[in-house]
Amino acid sequence: MTSLVQTIELLKAGNVVALPTETVYGLAGNALNSAAIAKIFATKRRPQDNPLIVHVSGIDMVRNLKLHIPPLAERLAERFWAGALTMVLRREADCPLPHEVSCGLDTAAVRVPDNAIFLEVIKKTMFPLAAPSANLSGSPSPTTAQHVRDDFGEEFPVVDGGACRVGIESTVVMFDDNDAIRILRPGAVTSEMLREYGNVVTDEGGSRHSPGTRYKHYAPRAKVIAVQADAEAFTERTKHERFVIANPETSTLFMFLRQYDQLNADKIFVRLPERSGVGAALYNRIIRAAEFEVTQW
C-alpha cells in the first residue's frame, strides 16, 4: 500500500495515484499539470472527449481556479460540500486549468470529496486534483483498493481507505441561464434534495451536455439483465440463478458486479429499484450496465 508521504511525492512529480473518496476510488493527478492529465487518460484508457472532475478543498480553491460561481452554485456548495455533488462551472478567460481537463469545453467540473485522506492530500500538495474513477474505462467503478489493483495491476499505487461509503459516483449538475439545476448524472445528492434550491431538470440521454454519459459504462464482463418486477416475482423467477442482486444498494452494487465477474458469471440478474431518491441513480447505473435493455416480469 502506498503511504501518504509517497503519495504526495508521486503527485508533485506529475504522477498519478489512486485515492479513496466517499463515492468511488479516484485516479488522482495534479489538475494544473497537462502531463499528469495525459497519464490519467492513458491509464484509464478513457476516451479523449470525456472531461475530468477537478477535486478541490473548498469554494476558495474554485475561486482561485477562475471558474464562474453563480449565486445558486454558492448555495449548493454551502449545503452539499464536502459531498457527492459535482458542479459544472464556466471557465473564465484566466482559468489556469489546462484545456485537456475540460476536453476543450468552456466549462470545468468541480467537487469537494468527503474523505479525510483525500482532503489531507489536497492540503499537502496545495493543488487541485483531477480524479475520475480509478477503473479501466467502461468497467464497474472501484469501491475498494483491491478493485483498483484488479484493473491496474497489483503494483499500482493506491492509498487504501477501506470500502467507499456511498459506492456510486457523484451527482453532476450544471446551471441553466434561467437558474434551473440540470442533472447530467444522478447520484447520492438526489433531485428531491436539489429541488429545494431551484427548478430541477434531468438530462435523460445526457450526451449533449455531458460527454461521459455517451459511453458504455459500469459494465462487468457478464451480461447484466435489468429486470422490472416486484420483489416476489423476481425472487420466484431467479430462485435457481446464482448471480442475483434483488435489492441493489449504492454501497454494494459495483462490488457485487465485480465479485460475480470473478466467479465467472455469464448472466447477472438485477432488480431495478423505484426511480425516486437515490433509486434514480441506481436505476441509471443498472440500465447502463445492462446496455439500456430492460426486461419486464
Binding-site ranges for Mg ion (CB under 5 A):
133
- Other Cβ atoms less than 10 A from the Cβ of 160: the count is 17
161 to 200: interface string for ligand AMP, x by CB under 6 A: --------x--x-----------xx---------------
Q: How far is the CB of 53 from ligand AMP (least distance, A)?
A: 5
Contact status: 284 vs ligand AMP (CB under 6 A): no
Q: Which residue is nearest to ligand AMP (CB)?
A: 212
Q: How many residues belong to the site for ligand AMP (CB under 6 A)?
A: 21
The C-alpha cell at 293 is 435493455
Selected from 12, 79, 99, 209, the binder of ligand AMP by CB under 6 A is 209
> Residues near 64 by Cβ (< 8 Å), separated by ≥ 6?
none
Alpha helices in 107-252 (DSSP H): 116-125, 145-152, 191-194, 231-237
Q: Pick from 20, 83, 113, 132 the residue near ligand AMP by CB under 6 A.
A: 132
* Closer residue to Mg ion, CB minimum distance, 186 or 227: 186
- Residues 52 to 81 in contact with ligand AMP, rule: CB under 6 A: 52-53
ω into residue 130 within 30 of 0, thus cis? Answer: no
DSSP assignment of 98-141, as one string?
-HHHHTT-SEEEEE----HHHHHHHHHH-S-EE--BSS-TTSPP
The reply on whether position 210 binds ligand AMP by CB under 6 A is yes
State which H helix or E strand residue 73 sits in.
helix 71-80
Binding piece for ligand AMP, criterion CB under 6 A, among 4-12, 29-37, 156-164, 209-217: 209-217
Q: What is the distance between the alpha carbons of residues 162 and 169, in angstroms, rounded to a whole number?
A: 16
- Residue 55 binds which one of Mg ion, ligand AMP, none, with CB within 5 to 8 A depending on kind? none
| Closest distance to ligand AMP from the beta carbon of 128 (Å) | 13
| CA distance readout (Å), 242 to 108, 114, 127 | 43, 35, 46
Which residues of this protein are in contact with ligand AMP, per CB under 6 A? Answer: 50-53, 88, 102, 105, 107-109, 132-133, 169, 172, 184-185, 209-213
